[in-house]
Amino acid sequence: MLKARLHISTGLFVQVYQNDRLATTNLVLIYNGQRLYARDQLDGVWHRHTAAAPDLHDTSAGGRRQVELSEFLNEVEAVLTTMGLP
């Protein structure tokens, strides 16, 4: 199991959680305690929480696609740029 936070600025961070035994991965961008964007794998099945609707599961083909951490961080950079955050 791995859990790590990559701090960007005060109240803004990326949290990475992975548990290989449970086939669970959570990659999430958090700002002031709220999820802004995420990609999750539960029991080996991926879904996305878009910046436009972070509380909903996007199970479209793009939402179900597995991503590496580096790709997720590129997506985070795009979200931050769109939202005008540091």
Tens-digit pLDDT profile for residues 1-30 = 999 999 999 999 999 999 999 999 999 999
For the chain, what percentages of helix, strand and coil (3-state, to nearest 5) are there? 25, 45, 30
- CA atoms of 64 and 29, how far apart (whole Å): 18
Q: What is the per-residue pLDDT across 31-43, written as a single tens digit (0 to 9) for each? A: 999 999 999 999 8
Q: What is the pLDDT of residue 43?
A: 87
pLDDT over 90 at 56, yes or no: yes
pLDDT over 90 at 58, yes or no: yes
Q: What is the pLDDT of residue 61?
A: 97
